A and B are shown apart, each in its own frame.
Chain A
Amino acid sequence: MIIRKKNNRIFILLILLVINPAIIFSQEIESKDACFNCHGILEGRLKTPSDMYKSDIHFRKGIACSACHGGDSKEEDQDKSMSKTAGFIGIPRGLQVSKICAKCHSKEFETLSKSVHGQSSTGSGLIINNCITCHGVHNIIPVKSPGSKVNGANIVSTCAGCHSNASLMKNYNPGLKVDQLDKYKTSVHGQKVFSGDSKAANCASCHGNHDVKKVNDLNSKVYISNIPTTCNKCHGDANYMKEYKIPTDQYEKFKKSVHGVALLEKGDVNAPSCNKCHGDHGASPPEVESISKVCGTCHVLNSQLFQESPHKPAFDKEKIHECSACHNNHDISTPTDEMLGSGEKSVCIKCHKQNDKGFETAVKMKFMIDSLQKDVELANYFINAAEQKGMDVSDAKFESNDIKKVLITSRTSSHYADLEKYINTINEGFKITSKAKLEGEEAVKEYYFRRLGLGISTIFITIICVTLYLKLRKIEKKQKT
């Protein structure tokens, strides 16, 4: 029996030496690890762990089966090696698995415990993911090895194993989408990863690995205001991105843009981050003809007006980048009225030249919005002046709220690029402003009228007082005589 075992061992060793030179280094362990040796000569499911373990990094590092399963791996007698007195635990269950890994990988386990996957699962006493959920068991190979379950394209499938499983995911978060993998396949990242480019972003590149947090967790790498930094790790690294031949200044531009300032400086989480325009799992640059649709997810009216404008067919024909042609992309700054007209900062003159219809329209639009702006300032001046004088201008102030609205509407209507429609919109603004201005003016006049009235009545009453006094003196003088 022992001779037979020995022959088998030599045979296995020879085969392994042929198929994997790395196992040369495990020769000594093989001879010492009774568990590995015995299971290796068994049949069926009892043999599988031993077979798989041959390629495992732990095997190569000389870690015996007993390190995880307990028992005495030096003892060849099964009754002794797998006895409870030798500390044999059999197959580790539940949290026990991660705790065993944590004996050596304590840092990783600690991080995992704090992550979303380290939270308790639907099964009592278990966590959602333990180490083997992602890394596998008995065949764990280095992360950088192409065959690792957590390497490159493999990690996508590993994550999708759970995240694409609607039945499983609804147990934890019924609202969470399960189409990440499908979207990822359409993304530039996904296409590159699946074509063998290990540099392109996979799940862990953005979400992290052991420290995956919920998206709405402030510490998550993909929390809305952390996304620009996360994307910038790769996209801002000129060396890393060299082979892709794309700019690496997106983050620098974005953080100075109106969106970046709102999100990163003012903490407005309604402001868009990278993923709002590019998509998250399906990240890719918007197509030229879909830019206005992408921007239109927030700027609904502007997008709608642009779609109806003569610019849309013209832009499509010339392959002009819709919204970004005038507003730029990553470095979008607060739009100003200077963008209209024919001035230095005008965007209209990029395409329209003097004497063409578009040029004339732009000049007229600029003139009208400037006039409205002046009217607004005048109305506000009168309202403030009246208010400072202590007059009640609540109605005028209420109307001045409409002025702001009308200015926005007028500016928005420039996306029509149609003078007639623009005039119709802006005329409403002139009406409201005139009314507010008039009310402010009236209040100021009323203030002076009150002062005047007071002055006149005071003089009048004073004259009566003096007359009365004189009369009284006259009477009293007469009485004395």
Chain B
Amino acid sequence: MKKKSILKKGYGWINERFKIDDLINFMKKKEVPLYHGTIWYYFGGISLLLFIIQVVTGMLLLLYYKGSAELAFESVQFISAKVKFGWLIRSIHSWSANLMVLAAFIHMFSVFFTKAYKKPRELTWYSGFILLALAMAFGFTGYLLPWNELSLFATKVGTDIPKAIPLIGGFIMNILRGGEEVTGSTLSRFFGFHVALLPGIFTLVLTMHLIFIQRQGMSAPENWDELPEKNKKKIPFFPNFLLRDLLIWLIIINVLSVLAVFFPWELGVKADELAPAPAGIKPEWYFLFMFQTLKIIPSQILVMDGEVFGVLLFSIAGLLWFLVPLWDRKTKTGEKRYWLTYAGIFAIIYIIIFTIIGFIAK
């Protein structure tokens, strides 16, 4: 009884100053459509949770990680072997990074297929797309940080791709690598990108993304307005949707711990810049479909270099995807553009198939 009154007093003290009740009332009024596609709403939250886990575990790793070619591998080895629960933190950091990209991909496709990017949510789509690109950049820069053999050569391959861009390709590659080759300078640079530059930009864009969602609320399905009022099922954001979100977050945390304990992230062999590239160099799985495509494109397509063609193809596809709110409008007769849905399905199938081929290929 006494305990409860202390809690109440504490809440009252904060509420008096920050008007928490107003915020709760706002959330209570806010409603989330309840229909067969509600499940997809949770993937944004899952991505957010995994990002938070990334930040927390990343900060813990920073206590011991050393971002130089001489010490990086040994410091990660030390974290995994000697630091109490270091193995768990590192494993969770790696697993949550991958799951975050997966969740963000699912979130993006669900938004795409539910047409949630349409007016007035164009900016939410743009910011979401940027967040996914930043998440992939996080993955790309973070992959090199343990400074092992696989990460070194995968980074070599990855940073070699921009070189194919005419005129500015070499310049971009030099900016990424901090020189002509992937060396200790690249590691320092990637470390800087991973722990300072990218988190800064990411936090900014994420804040905007969340503000947009809070201001506009959850998007309803396309035919929502046409439904009779009695068929429009809704649940309050607080506490219903938030508690469901929390439930899923807890399940994700459970999945993460199982993965981290049963499949701890391997460290591999220390990178040797002078050693020949080992067999089976592959980037992280979310780059595999692009990597595999570039591998099968012929070296020359008409007058164009094959690699340039590939990079150009993905750049155009990415740009079109990014700008989808601009050009996906109903036809003059008001019909929906079904082919866009088919294009989305094709994109998913393409990504899945080429990722599998990339995994299998030697």
Measured CB to CB, the residues of A under 8 A from B are 390, 392, 394-395, 450-451, 453-454, 457-458, 461-462, 464-465, 468-469, 471-472, 475-476, 479
The reply to whether A465 and B250 form a contact with Cβ atoms under 8 Å apart is yes
The reply to whether B251 and A465 form a contact with Cβ atoms under 8 Å apart is yes
Chain B nearest CB from A396 CB (Å) reads 10
Chain B nearest CB from A474 CB (Å) reads 11
Cα A395 to Cα B77 in complex, Å, equals 11
Q: Which B residues are in CB contact (< 8 Å) with A450? A: 88, 261
The reply to whether B243 and A475 form a contact with Cβ atoms under 8 Å apart is yes
Find A475's partner among B87, B240, B254 (CB 8 Å cutoff). B240
The reply to whether A395 and B243 form a contact with Cβ atoms under 8 Å apart is no
Q: Which A residues are in CB contact (< 8 Å) with B246? A: 468
Cα A318 to Cα B261 in complex, Å, equals 67
Cα A395 to Cα B253 in complex, Å, equals 31
Chain A: interface secondary structure? helix
The 3 closest A-B pairs by CB, nearest first: A392-B81, A454-B261, A472-B243
Find A464's partner among B87, B244, B250, B258 (CB 8 Å cutoff). B250
Residue of A nearest to B239 (CB): A475
| A–B Cβ pairs within 8 angstroms, 18 of them | A392-B81, A392-B87, A450-B88, A454-B257, A454-B261, A458-B257, A461-B253, A464-B250, A465-B250, A468-B243, A468-B247, A471-B243, A472-B239, A472-B243, A475-B240, A475-B243, A476-B235, A479-B240
Chain A nearest CB from B92 CB (Å) reads 12
Cα A152 to Cα B81 in complex, Å, equals 72
Q: Which B residues are in CB contact (< 8 Å) with A471? A: 243
The reply to whether B253 and A472 form a contact with Cβ atoms under 8 Å apart is no
Chain A nearest CB from B78 CB (Å) reads 11
| Count of chain A to chain B residue pairs whose CB atoms are closer than 8 Å in the complex | 46
The reply to whether A472 and B240 form a contact with Cβ atoms under 8 Å apart is yes
Q: Which B residues are in CB contact (< 8 Å) with A390? A: 264
Within 8 A of A (CB), among B192-228: none
Cα A292 to Cα B110 in complex, Å, equals 83
Cα A478 to Cα B261 in complex, Å, equals 40
Question: A458-B254, A465-B251, A468-B250 in contact; A451/B243 too (CB < 8 A)?
Answer: no
Q: Which A residues are in CB contact (< 8 Å) with B264? A: 390
The reply to whether A461 and B254 form a contact with Cβ atoms under 8 Å apart is yes
Residue of A nearest to B262 (CB): A454
Chain B: interface secondary structure? helix
The reply to whether A476 and B81 form a contact with Cβ atoms under 8 Å apart is no
The reply to whether A457 and B247 form a contact with Cβ atoms under 8 Å apart is no
Cα A471 to Cα B251 in complex, Å, equals 16
Interface size (B, Cβ < 8 Å)?
21
Q: Which A residues are in CB contact (< 8 Å) with B88? A: 450
Q: Which B residues are in CB contact (< 8 Å) with A475? A: 239-240, 243
Q: Which B residues are in CB contact (< 8 Å) with A468? A: 243, 246-247, 250
Q: Which B residues are in CB contact (< 8 Å) with A394? A: 77, 81
The reply to whether B243 and A457 form a contact with Cβ atoms under 8 Å apart is no
Q: Which B residues are in CB contact (< 8 Å) with A479? A: 236, 240
Cα A475 to Cα B77 in complex, Å, equals 48
Known contacts A454-B257, A462-B254, A472-B243; can you find 10 more A-B pairs with CB under 8 A? A392-B80, A392-B81, A394-B77, A450-B261, A461-B253, A461-B254, A464-B250, A472-B247, A475-B239, A476-B235
The reply to whether A457 and B80 form a contact with Cβ atoms under 8 Å apart is no
Q: Which B residues are in CB contact (< 8 Å) with A457? A: 254, 257
Q: Which A residues are in CB contact (< 8 Å) with B77? A: 394
Chain A nearest CB from B220 CB (Å) reads 20
Residue of B nearest to A453 (CB): B261
Residue of B nearest to A457 (CB): B257
Q: Which B residues are in CB contact (< 8 Å) with A395? A: 81
Cα A454 to Cα B258 in complex, Å, equals 7
Question: A392-B81, A392-B87, A468-B247 in contact; A476/B257 too (CB < 8 A)?
Answer: no
Cα A465 to Cα B87 in complex, Å, equals 26
Cα A461 to Cα B77 in complex, Å, equals 30
Residue of B nearest to A475 (CB): B239
Chain B nearest CB from A424 CB (Å) reads 32
Cα A468 to Cα B258 in complex, Å, equals 21
Chain B nearest CB from A23 CB (Å) reads 77
Residue of B nearest to A454 (CB): B261
The reply to whether B253 and A476 form a contact with Cβ atoms under 8 Å apart is no
The reply to whether A476 and B240 form a contact with Cβ atoms under 8 Å apart is yes
Per-residue contact bits, chain B 284-328, to A (CB 8 Å; 1 contact, 0 not): 000000000000000000000000000000000000000000000
Chain B nearest CB from A369 CB (Å) reads 32
Find B250's partner among A392, A454, A461, A476 (CB 8 Å cutoff). A461
Chain B nearest CB from A471 CB (Å) reads 7
Chain A nearest CB from B143 CB (Å) reads 21
